Structure 1
Amino acid sequence: MKKASLNFIAVLGLSLGLLAFTTIREGGIQGKVSPVEGASQVLAVAGRDTLRAAVNNGSFVFSKVKAGTYTVLVKANVPYKDATVENVAVTDSATTDVGEIKLLQ
């Protein structure tokens, strides 16, 4: 009886230990800015969380993004104006493409 109890406790402890290390699936956000030289930084904001990504050759990528709804802010270089894309939905294990964001002068 004592051995069965110890085996049960061992199996229970192992099961809980494995559950503690389950992977958290995260998504991403990607897109393009045009003109290519129009911006150098993009922000993704959800509540108090703010993520930053650099713009490389007109493209940006946010990786390891928690699921939720984000506002994407493009910080434009002079003479262009900042741009905003609202309600960008990110789901687990998927990358959301916001497409091409055209900056105005």
Structure 2
Amino acid sequence: MKKLSIFLFALILSSLCFIAFTSIKLGGITGRVSPASAVVSVSLISTGTDTLKAQVNDGAFTFSNLKQGVYTVWIKAGTPYKDTVIDNVAVKDSSTTDLGEIKLQQ
């Protein structure tokens, strides 16, 4: 009887853990930079020191599989354009934040 109780407790505990982790839904960030030829790289900085880089195709970039939170997007530009930083970009569960068109300044 004691083994059965321990087994049932372990089964219930593992089921609760499984349900808790499946409810985490991830979001993303997208945007377009113009002029596209001036973009060197696009990086995403989380609240800590984690940094991600995105592939840039014709000025368009996408970050996916992001946890809910607030991020900073850093666009490194080539000469004669200036780097651009976008602070406080919010990502919510299961949604993608579209930054629209980001125009680089000279």
Give the TM bin, normalised by the shorter chain. 0.7 to 0.9
Give identity over the alignment, percent. Answer: 50
What does 1:90-105 correspond to in 2, within 5 Å? Answer: 90-105=91-106
Computing the radius of gyration from Cα coordinates, the structure with the larger value is 1
Structure 2: gaps spanning 5 or more residues: none
Structure 1: gaps spanning 5 or more residues: none
**Greater displacement, 47-56 / 26-35:** 47-56
Q: How many residues align?
A: 102
User: What is the root-mean-square deviation in Å for CA atoms of aligned residues?
Assistant: 1.6
Whether the 8 Å CA contact 1:28–1:61 is kept in 2: the answer is: yes
Q: What is the match of residue 35 of structure 1?
A: 35
Q: What is the match of residue 83 of structure 1?
A: 84
State the alpha-carbon separation in 2 of the partners of residues 33 and 11 from structure 1: 55
TM-score by length of 1: 0.84
Whether the 8 Å CA contact 1:40–1:54 is kept in 2: the answer is: no
Q: What is the match of residue 72 of structure 2?
A: 71
Q: What is the match of residue 53 of structure 2?
A: 52
Whether the 8 Å CA contact 1:44–1:73 is kept in 2: the answer is: yes
1:54 positional shift: 2.0
Structure 1 segments, 4+ long, off by >6 Å, are none
Q: What is the match of residue 15 of structure 2?
A: 18
TM-score by length of 2: 0.83
Paired AA for residue 40 in structure 1: V
Paired AA for residue 94 in structure 1: S
